[in-house]
């Protein structure tokens, strides 16, 4: 199975700053089948980006995804207070689907 | 609008059984593959089981294979997870999730709110 490793584990930033989250795969993710999810405390995850770089419906354009192969990045251009949450990457191109362990984005 | 509503969670002793349900609405249920995904307290997300749109194909994570059974009733727009021989490590929030494209290998565009399963003596 493809193992996804996210870094950093915790990212401390201030509102207005730029956030860069990384997701590294143990082998190439086919067809850039990589998604990013945001999870707030007590809530279900919601998809932000799929296909490595396509924003999901209703997601603000300050969220952007990039990458291919084994290296993927989620960038939040200017952090808003509601962006402080846990972020997961997921590959869905190979069986079984797998998730990264998460990056917690916290207010500095 | 699309809604997924889980139920059936609770506190159960190790070795006992529990059945989770996920009631769906707002989309053509019978055309979508569906997943169960769980999240242990303070931990990340783990895929548990997958079922095809027609219920004919089912797949399981190694951690639950032989103990859990996924099923669906397309006439009732409901997904199920029968959990037998429960272990402490099955304690988690259990989510049902819909795939964006309806196929197996697609991101999850809708999730339920989850139901909590606690396995404890």
Provide, as residue numbers in chain A, all residues whose Cβ is less than 8 Å from the Cβ of B108. Answer: 35, 37, 45, 47, 90
Q: Decide if B27 touches A, using CB distance below 8 A.
A: no
Nearest chain B residue (CA) to A57: B109
Q: What is the pLDDT of residue B104?
A: 87
**Which pLDDT tens digit goes with each residue over A87-108?**
999 999 998 999 999 999 999 9
Q: Is the peptide bond before A8 cis (omega within 30 degrees of 0)?
A: yes
Cβ neighbours, 10 Å, residue B36: 27
Helix (H, G, I), strand (E, B) or coil at B58: strand
- With H, G, I as helix, E, B as strand and everything else as coil, classify residue B112: coil
CA distance B66 to B81: 13
A interface with B, Cβ–Cβ < 8 A, is 33, 35, 37, 43-47, 50, 56, 88, 90, 92-102
Q: Half-sphere exposure of B28 toward its Cβ, with a 13 Å CA cutoff? A: 6
The 10s digit of each residue's pLDDT in B6-42 is 999 999 999 999 999 999 999 999 999 999 999 999 9
- Structural tokens at position B116: 């909590």
| Minimal C-alpha gap between A63 and chain B (Å) | 17
**pLDDT at site A31:** 79
Q: What is the 3-state secondary structure (H, E, C) of A12-68?
A: EECCCCCEEEEEEECCCCHHHCEEEEEECCCCCCEEEEECCCEECCCCCCCEEEEEE
What's the gap in Å between the CA of A29 and the closest CA on chain B?
Answer: 12
């Amino acid at each position: 199975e493809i193992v996804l490793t996210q870094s950093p584990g915790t990212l401390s930033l201030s509102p207005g700053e730029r956030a860069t989250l990384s997701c590294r795969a143990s082998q190439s993710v086919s067809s850039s089948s990589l998604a990013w999810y945001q999870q707030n405390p007590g809530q279900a995850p919601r998809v932000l980006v799929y296909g490595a770089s396509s924003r999901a419906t209703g997601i603000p354009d300050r969220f952007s995804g990039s990458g291919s192969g084994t290296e993927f990045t989620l960038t939040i251009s200017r952090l808003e207070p509601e962006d402080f949450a846990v972020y997961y990457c997921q590959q869905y191109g190979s069986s079984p689907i797998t998730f990264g362990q998460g990056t917690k984005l916290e207010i500095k | 609008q699309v809604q997924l509503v889980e139920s059936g969670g609770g506190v159960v002793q190790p070795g006992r059984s529990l059945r989770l349900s996920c009631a769906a609405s707002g989309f053509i249920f019978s055309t979508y593959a569906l997943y169960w995904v769980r999240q242990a307290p303070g931990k990340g997300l783990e895929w548990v089981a997958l079922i095809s749109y027609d219920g004919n194909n089912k797949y399981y994570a190694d951690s639950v294979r032989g103990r859990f059974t996924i099923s669906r009733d397309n006439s009732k727009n409901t997904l199920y997870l029968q959990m037998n021989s429960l272990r402490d490590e099955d304690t988690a929030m259990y989510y049902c999730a819909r795939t964006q494209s309806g196929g197996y290998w697609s991101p999850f565009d809708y999730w339920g709110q989850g139901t909590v399963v606690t396995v404890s003596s």
